[in-house]
Amino acid sequence: MFEQSLNPTGHLWLTVAAALIPLIALIFMLAVFRITAWIATIIGGAITVLLGVVVWHAPFAGMMKSYLYGGLTGIWSIDWITFWGLIIFNTLVLTGDFDRFRSWIVHHATADIRIQTIMLAWAFGALLEGLVGFGYPWAVVVPILVGLGIADLDAIRVAALANNAPVSYGALGAPIIGLAAVTGLPLLALSGSIGNVVAILALLPPWVLIYLVSGWEGVVEAWPLAIVGSLSYIAGQWPVAHYWGPYLPDLSGALVSFWVLFLFVKIWRPKTIRGFGGAPLKPSASVTADSAAPTSTWEAFLVWLPYIVLIGVVVAWTRPQSSLPAISLFKLSIAAKSSVTQKAITSVFNFAPLNGGTSILASWLVILAIVRPNRRILPQVFSKTFKQMWGALLVAFFVFALAYIFVYTGMANSLAYGLSKIGVFFIVLAPILGWIGVALSGSNTSTNAMFGPVQAVTGRLLNLPVLLLPSFNSVGAEVGKPIAPQTASVGVSTSRFVRSEGQVIRHNMGWTLIVLAYLILLALLFYYVFPNSMSV
């Protein structure tokens, strides 16, 4: 068994600098040279292999096995989920079912811009993030908000900040599943700890959204809307995150939030109806009618049915009592002796054919039986999905491969050992590291793969609650999404700011830093007041 070296250069900070080289190389390739993410991760992997052989003296054959097992884990644990999630979305788009669903939601919004924003950007946006991710909530929600009178750039900022809370559970939980894979931490425990942080984080964005579209006067009038919007999302998200896992918290949170808001505005509305900027509207103002919007109860049931099916199948399939995800056909693994614990640390690929991704495939098959698309549509669905995400599919393979060898060679332990010398102050840096990671990679999943192992080992060396730093790495990545160039490029694709991502990022930056500061305070709160909630 290969024995890792904690300080192979003999000088701690020189070792730390060497361990940082792959991460710094990725930063320059993604942020400075704008190299495509999948190519950057291939080059980053090659640099990591070279350093592993020359500096950490890791066996080349062992690294290649670890690299392969990591890549296969990226395909089976991440790609298999995100691919079928996007297949479901594209099926609904190409059959017209998604347009009918969107029309129903817009039709039932009121004329008040604050209610429209919370129902559409907050609740509906979380539903899209939970199903697809990859910036699609921006792309879908922004044209709706612009159509309701919000200026283009402000509509993008509203959609981006509304997306702050649900990102860790986006794309059917892929970021948390990836974090569990690279850290070895229990999936359900991670889902619950991140759910704790997101629950408090989610208290803030509705207030910000209402302020952005209507000013302080609008907030004073509509404060019950912010409270109901945040608490209803938490009520749907938190129990699912704790007791069912990371696949569905966004969908459940979004659905509960939307329907609670839907019923709430039937009994309470602000005294003054306001448009964008806080301008009062006439009492007779109403949402622009959409003749194509489903209006009957049966039509409403049909447009919601695919999402109900998805939740029902995935819950039944992946609930803790289910044995399906645990079925394994085979495992491939290679071990190294950890330089920190002196125990075996394994790079493992577990082929579990009935995992969460397969449950989403099963959901799609049920949805097909319900919507009954024309046979010609299915090839279009697969073609569109591959065109949209072939790069992301490759990134999942190469970034998890890189992460696995980063751990196998001992580089992650060496970096964590050096960072642990910072002391407890590292709690402040943990969410910032996640924020930086997603700003560079555009992906919470990639950020967790790159920085998750370092966060986990640093936490152990500092005797912190084991889930604390990995959880705040993931939630820090949520907060960085509004300034991620790759996310912005997808998000602005339906607006007039195509190829103007820089202007969008600058417009989002100020509020993103405010939310990041809030998250840092939450990290300190959980460490000093609620440490048990971050323990396994």
The span from the CA of 459 to the CA of 220, in Å, is: 42
User: In the prediction, which pLDDT does 173 show?
Assistant: 93
Compute the chain's Rg from CA coordinates.
Answer: 23
Whether the predicted pLDDT of 291 surpasses 60: no
- Span 431-440, pLDDT tens digits: 999 998 888 7
The span from the CA of 458 to the CA of 46, in Å, is: 25
Q: What is the mean pLDDT of residues 500-514?
A: 87
Q: What are phi and psi of 111, to 5 degrees?
A: -80, -15
- Span 67-116, pLDDT tens digits: 999 999 999 999 999 999 999 999 999 999 999 998 888 887 778 999 99
% helix, strand, coil for the chain, step of 5: 75, 5, 20
The span from the CA of 371 to the CA of 380, in Å, is: 16
Closest CA to 479 of 412, 430, 406: 430
- pLDDT category of residue 293 using cuts at 50, 70 and 90: low
The pTM score is 0.90
Other Cβ atoms closer than 10 A to 418: 22
Whether the predicted pLDDT of 289 surpasses 60: no
- Span 453-495, pLDDT tens digits: 999 999 999 999 999 999 999 999 999 988 887 777 776 776 7
> Computed from CA positions of residues 67, 71, 73, 78, in that sequence, does the dihedral angle turn out positive or negative?
positive
The span from the CA of 361 to the CA of 70, in Å, is: 23
Count of domains forming the chain: 1
- Give the rounded percent of residues in the chain with a pLDDT score beyond 70: 97
Expressed in angstroms, the distance from the first to the final Cα of the chain is: 29
- Span 213-246, pLDDT tens digits: 999 999 999 999 999 999 999 999 999 999 999 9
The span from the CA of 426 to the CA of 439, in Å, is: 20
- Give the rounded percent of residues in the chain with a pLDDT score beyond 90: 73
User: In the prediction, which pLDDT does 504 show?
Assistant: 84
Q: What is the mean pLDDT of residues 262-276?
A: 92
Whether the predicted pLDDT of 333 surpasses 60: yes
- What are the tokens at 13? 């900070």
- pLDDT category of residue 188 using cuts at 50, 70 and 90: very high
User: In the prediction, which pLDDT does 295 show?
Assistant: 62
Least confident of 42-51, 193-202, 314-323: 314-323
Q: What are phi and psi of 182, to 5 degrees?
A: -90, -15
Whether the predicted pLDDT of 502 surpasses 80: no
- What are the tokens at 375? 């046979």
Contact 91, 368 (CB under 8 A): yes
Contact 136, 128 (CB under 8 A): yes
Q: What is the mean pLDDT of residues 18-32?
A: 87
The span from the CA of 253 to the CA of 298, in Å, is: 23
User: In the prediction, which pLDDT does 228 show?
Assistant: 97
Whether the predicted pLDDT of 306 surpasses 60: yes
Query: CB neighbours of 114 closer than 8 A, spacing ≥ 6?
Result: 210, 213, 214, 218, 222, 225, 270, 274
- What are the tokens at 495? 């607006």
For the chain, the average pLDDT equals: 91
The range of the structural domain enclosing residue 404 comes to 2-282+289-534
Give the DSSP letter string of 357-368.
HHHHHHHHHHHH
User: In the prediction, which pLDDT does 487 show?
Assistant: 76
Of 290 and 102, the structure prediction assigns the larger pLDDT to 102
Whether the predicted pLDDT of 273 surpasses 70: yes
Query: CB neighbours of 248 closer than 8 A, spacing ≥ 6?
Result: 130, 169, 172, 173, 240, 311, 314, 315
Q: What is the mean pLDDT of residues 424-444?
A: 90
Strands 330-337 and 2-3: parallel
User: In the prediction, which pLDDT does 276 show?
Assistant: 93
Give every strand in the sheet of 2-3, ordered side by side: 2-3, 330-337, 344-351
Give the DSSP letter string of 384-395.
HHHHHHHHHHHH
- pLDDT category of residue 285 using cuts at 50, 70 and 90: low
Closest CA to 389 of 171, 168, 77: 171
Closest CA to 437 of 44, 11, 98: 44
Whether the predicted pLDDT of 171 surpasses 80: yes
Q: What are phi and psi of 350, to 5 degrees?
A: -110, 115
User: In the prediction, which pLDDT does 180 show?
Assistant: 96
Q: What is the mean pLDDT of residues 173-194?
A: 96
